[in-house]
Amino acid sequence: MAGPMGGGKKHGPMGPVKKPKNTKGTVIRLFKYICRQKGLFFGMLFFAAIQSLATVSAALFIEPIIDDYLRPLVGQRFEGELVSGLIRTMVLMGCVFLGGALASYGQSKCSVWLTQRTLNTLRKDLFDSISDLPISYFDSKPNGEIMSRFTNDVESLRMFISQGLTQFVSSGIMIVGSFVIMLMYSWQMTLIVIAMVIVMFFVTKTVGKRSALFFKKQQEQLGTVNGYIEEIIEGQKVVKVFNHEEDVISHFDEINESLRKAATSANTFANILGPVMNNLSHITYALSATVGGLLALKGAMTPGEIVAFLQYIRSFTQPISNITQQFNNAFMALAGAERIFEIIDENKEVDEGYVVLVNAKISDNGEIEETEEHTGVWAWKHTHGDGTVTYTRLAGDIEFENVTFSYDGKKTVLNDVSLYAKPGQKIAFVGSTGAGKTTITNLINRFYEINDGKIRYDGINIQKIKKSDLRRSLGIVLQDTHLFTGTIEDNIRYGNLDATHEDVVKAAKIANAHSFIENLPDGYDTMLTGDGSNLSQGQRQLLSIARAAVADPPVLILDEATSSIDTRTEKLIEKGMDALMQGRTVFVIAHRLSTVRNAQAIMVLEHGEIIERGDHDDLINQKGKYYQLYTGNFEE
Ligand SMILES: Nc1ncnc2c1ncn2[C@@H]1O[C@H](COP(=O)(O)OP(=O)(O)OP(=O)(O)O)[C@@H](O)[C@H]1O
Ligand SMILES: [Mg+2]
């Protein structure tokens, strides 16, 4: 996929067209979704059947109207038994049409409900899957591409379920019904029709095969285009700073053009089907009319039968061309469904953890007991193989033992890292950019799994701890702040949804965010939009510290943002962090060495290895990397 720079591997616009992987499986699965709304689905089928039966049987009145009433009436006075019979028959025919119209109304109602409910479930499953995907999945795809599955791919299903599905059903019934009736009128003429159907079948098969491929390509290109748009909107400032507007536009033109070509191919193949089918049915009509005329001359058919038969050719071929046109929708829907299922099937973040976090109280004899109430004391509940349960008090003791890790399985990012942090200690990581500091925090909260070694939390291997409980016990201030649309208060409360307004304010005070929030016109009710773009970088960071503070976790991980901020805000953040660190195990990744000076242990990372450790004075005396980083003296 081409990135925002327009680089990457380029395909010709008609590039490799991927085959739908498992069309049959996708169809079955889609039907299972549709059948979840059993009542609506069968209701829709029922009404569609009534409606098409009405259409088919209404034409049955044509023959008696012509042969039994109109022909005998030719040259006669328009009165008597014949006329009242004619009127009766026509009223009956009208009733059948009316029944059909009512059924058609019922069918469209069912169809709307069925479609919207099915899409709702699909969207829900898709969203649930996305929330369950491991972080590494998002490393590999632009967000817009994933978004596209919610928008275009779901939309393609809407068209199919709401129109295509009913068309297939009612057309099927009309085809079968008309065919049976045609056979009853004249087998000779029916033979002509059968010959035409065979031709139609081969045309559809040939065209359809190519269409399906291009529809898949079209949905993929749509995803690419969406991904690119999302990326550029997000990065618009960078684009402008470097005057890349024109490159961006020309790259967009390129992928937009590819989309146009793929969509054109897809639709051309599908769209020529309609006219081809129409012409084939005109030919059949003409041929049948001729043969019918000949048969009438021989006295084998009455004029009424011929007119009725020709009417049935219409109600036989019309649904065939309707169906072929619906192939358009069907192919697109299949391509869309396949892309949706692809995400639903993606490997979920597995969680085999069975050690959970529970509220605890310490009994008089010093034992830990599980309790329902919120005591502020937490314990790890460890259920063993033999059914016994042990409790370990949550203290915040973290240990890395010979941890080795690679994001992609190729490049080792952490190599044989060992470290420990005791409750109440402050451990600082320093090191050049890319050394692996953030990676260490990603491993503690299990965003990624380690390749070798062990990480222990209060003596428990973290792989045994349930992920949600593990993360609940950790307070993490990520290196890049993310704020959600909502008020400032909502954003702080994100750290602990049970927090009261007072808790939020207290947390904001600890984080030193209170004074700037108070100065905003709407205070804590100030709405944040677009990832907090109406705040400054430093303010955003203060909010994310407040968010960690409100959770009041025993272990805190602070990944200091690298972006430089004014010294006053820097001081505020520093004070905020220091306040937050009281009485907790703290990992701090510091880019400003002033923040690490009071740490109990400082680890200097270089290329994924800890090359120096000790406190500030030790490390300064060692005159190694830390000394260089701290004094900016790189000669030594
Ligand atoms: N999601 C990822 N996929 C693959 N490689 C990654 C990923 N994230 C980081 N890396 C690589 O891992 C290495 C360590 O990255 P890390 O983010 O831990 O550095 P850091 O020490 O936090 O740097 P900084 O001081 O700039 O924040 C880098 O070489 C980086 O290229
Ligand atoms: Mg980092």
Residue 5 inside a domain? The answer is no
Q: Do the beta carbons of residue 419 and residue 427 sit within 8 Å?
A: yes
pTM score of the predicted model: 0.75
Residue 16 inside a domain? The answer is no
pLDDT value of residue 337: 92
Q: How many domains does the chain have?
A: 3
Q: Do the beta carbons of residue 608 and residue 434 sit within 8 Å?
A: no
pLDDT value of residue 565: 63
Q: Do both 280 and 373 map to the same domain?
A: no
Own/partner contacts of 628-634, CB < 8 Å, gap of 24 or more, are 629/430, 629/431, 629/432, 629/593, 629/604, 630/593
Q: State in Å: Cα 626 to ligand 1 middle.
A: 20
Cα separation of 214 and 17, whole Å? 7
Q: What is the CATH number of the domain that holds 247?
A: 1.20.1560.10
pLDDT value of residue 21: 65
How many percent of the chain have pLDDT more than 90? Answer: 22
Cα separation of 123 and 134, whole Å? 19
Q: State in Å: Cα 349 to ligand 2 middle.
A: 23
Cα separation of 228 and 250, whole Å? 12
Cα separation of 25 and 22, whole Å? 5
Q: Do both 500 and 610 map to the same domain?
A: yes
In tens, the pLDDT along 135-191 reads 888 888 888 888 888 888 998 899 888 888 888 888 888 899 899 998 988 888 888
Q: State in Å: Cα 454 to ligand 1 middle.
A: 20
Residue 11 inside a domain? The answer is no
Pocket test residue of 133, 136, 437 for ligand 1, highest count of atoms within 8 A of CB: 437
Residue 172, judged by CB atoms within 10 A of its CB (0-12, 13-18, 19+), counts as middle
Q: Do both 386 and 522 map to the same domain?
A: no
Q: Do the beta carbons of residue 96 and residue 177 sit within 8 Å?
A: no
pLDDT value of residue 434: 87
Q: Do both 466 and 385 map to the same domain?
A: no
Q: Do both 241 and 389 map to the same domain?
A: no
Ligand lying nearest the CA atom of residue 591: 1
Residue 351 inside a domain? The answer is no
Closest residue by CA, ligand 1 atom 24: 433
Q: Which residues of the chain have pLDDT under 50?
A: 1-18, 634-636
Q: Do both 55 and 185 map to the same domain?
A: yes
pLDDT value of residue 16: 42
Cα separation of 11 and 258, whole Å? 9
| Residue 69: other Cβ atoms inside 10 A | 20
Ligand lying nearest the CA atom of residue 562: 1
Q: Do both 407 and 473 map to the same domain?
A: yes
Q: Do both 165 and 197 map to the same domain?
A: yes
Closest residue by CA, ligand 1 atom 4: 407
Atom number, ligand 1, closest to the C-alpha of residue 136: 1
Short-list 389, 393, 387, 396, CA closest to 420: 396
Q: Do both 53 and 176 map to the same domain?
A: yes
Q: Do both 159 and 221 map to the same domain?
A: yes
Residue 486 inside a domain? The answer is yes
Q: Do both 368 and 484 map to the same domain?
A: no
Residue 505 inside a domain? The answer is yes
pLDDT value of residue 114: 93
Q: State in Å: Cα 256 to ligand 1 middle.
A: 33
In tens, the pLDDT along 293-307 reads 888 888 888 888 888
pLDDT value of residue 562: 59
pLDDT value of residue 11: 35
Instruction: Return the sign of the alpha-carbon dihedral for residues 570, 573, 578, 581.
Output: negative
Ligand lying nearest the CA atom of residue 563: 1
Residues lining ligand 1, Cβ inside 6 A? 139, 407-408, 413, 431, 433-439, 479, 562
Residue 12 inside a domain? The answer is no
Q: Do both 528 and 621 map to the same domain?
A: yes
Short-list 53, 321, 55, 49, CA closest to 197: 321
Domain range for 371 is 356-393
pLDDT value of residue 453: 93
